[in-house]
Amino acid sequence: MIFSENLYLLIKRIFDLVISLILLLLLIFPMLIIFFLIKITSKGNAIYWSKRIGKNNKIFKMPKFRTMSIETPSVATHLLTNPNEWITPIGKILRRYSLDELPQLWSILYGHMSVVGPRPALFNQDDLIKLRTELMVHTLTPGLTGLAQINGRDELSIKNKVKFDFEYLNNKSLLLDIVIIIKTIKKVFIKPGINH
């Protein structure tokens, strides 16, 4: 069992490296364009480094293209009273197509994240962190996408997000990862399920 788990983790890591390298090579020019569009339409750095909870509840800094103004409070978007007042001129478009997530390919390359896994919690999302730790979900490497992302994303309650994370923990496989990736691509271009 330990051998098969280690083999799965090794293959998953190779898969992550190959996918992230290919995507970085394909998307480097669109990412540069996004970088400069953010710089010329709003104040502050184009890349926002967010403190996130990684595998085994270790904090790491996750890069995103900045979609909110630099004065935005450091809380989850759904906790803001009026998220739209904080969003940058091109922020809505970046979020609509999940383009703000592209810099996370570097986190995958570095090993802080995987292509598929539970989305990394913000450092101050205590309720989410607690639930994940109780169910051992915190032992997984967080992902760019996951079961929760293809089943509602921002529309899900924390309890339901963790339910999907737990389901992934118990059924994880490379085949499931591929299914999640395909469904994520469809969801991004059809109906992302993002409220803000």
Instruction: Name, in order, each residue with C-beta under 8 angstroms of 129's C-beta and a sequence gap of 6 or more.
Output: 53, 57, 121, 138
Strands, E assignment, the chain: 47-53, 59-65, 114-116, 143-145
pLDDT at 196: 39
Residue 196 lies in a domain: no
Q: What is the mean pLDDT of residues 33-55?
A: 94
Residue 160 lies in a domain: yes
Residue 146 lies in a domain: yes
> pLDDT category, 86, cuts 50, 70, 90?
confident
Q: Are 67 and 87 in contact (CB under 8 A)?
A: yes
Phi, psi (degrees; rounded to nearest 5) at 156: -85, 145
> What SS3 state is found at 65?
strand
Domain count, the chain: 1
Residue 57 lies in a domain: yes
Residue span of the structural domain in which 115 resides = 2-190
Q: What is the mean pLDDT of residues 64-77?
A: 80
pLDDT at 194: 47
CA 124 to chain centre: 16
Residue 19 lies in a domain: yes
Identity of the residue numbered 93: I
Whether residue 141 has pLDDT greater than 60: yes
CA distance 149 to 144: 9
Whether residue 43 has pLDDT greater than 70: yes
Residue 83 lies in a domain: yes
Segment (H or E) for 4:
helix 2-41
Give one word for 4, left, alpha or beta, with left for phi > 0 and alpha for psi -120 to 50.
Answer: alpha
Q: Are 42 and 31 in contact (CB under 8 A)?
A: no
Residue 133 lies in a domain: yes
Residue 117 lies in a domain: yes
